[in-house]
């Protein structure tokens, strides 16, 4: 299966001034099988919907923000929206990647929202984190135990900073859909602000799992 970058970028102006820059980088798959066509259609539609949202209603909001800044005689920083992806696993039986949507619409800094996708090949069907574990395996507990251990190790080594109440936050913050596969196995991640301050970015935790739970 061949994967190329779909690229698009546009700067939108209001009264001759740039108010919004939108850019896209999304996976463009070859469509040789029904499964490949299914995945390719998913990302093509997702890219078009994201582009339409930012060049439509959110562009109007950016114009309104620029107009208000002008009326109040204060500087206006153009809004930004960038959708990118990273391919993490590609084999005959598995495709995994994540999308990062960076959005700046005023304030101190922008925000990045991540989405992980893992597909079974050749059928082109999504795979869940649970599907990598044996039946009746208490995978959720095993994942949370490993995340706790990694957080404690990072704190002890001074490698990262987490909220003081991260232990209480962790169970509710964990979402099984927030994962992707790597060559070493699944990795789970947590959105901004869920268990750590903004400066820590999106915390990612690679999992050490039984051989039968490997990403393949």
What residue segments make up the domains of the chain, in order of their start?
3-126, 129-213
Residue-level pLDDT at 135: 84
The residue with tokens 């927030």 is: 178
For residue 44 the two structure tokens come to: 């093509």
| CA–CA separation, 118 and 96 (whole Å) | 4
Tens digit of pLDDT for each residue in 115-174? 999 999 999 999 999 998 888 889 999 999 999 999 999 999 999 999 999 999 999 999
Tens digit of pLDDT for each residue in 3-20? 889 899 999 999 999 999
CATH fold of 129-213 reads: Actin; Chain A, domain 4 (3.90.640)
Rounded to whole angstroms, what are the CA distances from 24 to 5, 50, 173?
9, 9, 28
**pTM, to two decimals:** 0.93
CATH topology identical between 3-126 and 129-213:
no
Residues in contact with 52: Cβ distance below 8 Å, sequence separation at least 6, in sequence order: none
**Cβ-based neighbour number of residue 50 at 10 Å:** 17
Rounded to whole angstroms, what are the CA distances from 183 to 30, 91, 119, 207?
22, 10, 15, 11
CATH of domain 3-126: 3.30.565.40
């Amino acid at each position: 299966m061949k994967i190329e970058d779909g690229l698009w970028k546009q700067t939108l102006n209001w009264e001759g001034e740039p108010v919004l820059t939108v850019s896209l980088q999304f996976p463009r798959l070859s469509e040789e099988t029904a499964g490949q066509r299914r995945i390719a259609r998913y990302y093509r539609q997702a890219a078009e919907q994201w582009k339409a949202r930012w060049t439509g209603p959110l562009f109007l909001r950016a114009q309104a923000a620029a107009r208000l800044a002008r009326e109040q005689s204060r500087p206006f920083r153009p809004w930004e929206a960038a959708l990118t992806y990273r391919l993490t696993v590609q084999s005959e039986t598995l495709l995994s990647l994540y999308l990062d949507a960076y959005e700046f619409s005023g304030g101190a800094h922008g925000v990045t929202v991540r989405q992980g996708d893992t597909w079974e090949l050749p059928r082109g069907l999504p795979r869940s984190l649970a599907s990598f574990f044996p039946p009746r395996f208490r995978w959720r507990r095993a994942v949370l135990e490993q995340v706790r251990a990694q957080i404690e190790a990072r704190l002890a080594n001074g490698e990262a900073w987490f909220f003081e109440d991260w232990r209480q936050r962790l169970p509710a913050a964990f979402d099984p859909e927030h994962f992707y596969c790597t060559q070493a196995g699944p990795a789970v991640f947590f959105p901004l602000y869920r268990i750590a301050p903004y400066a820590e970015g999106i915390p990612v935790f690679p999992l050490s799992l039984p051989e039968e739970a490997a990403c393949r």
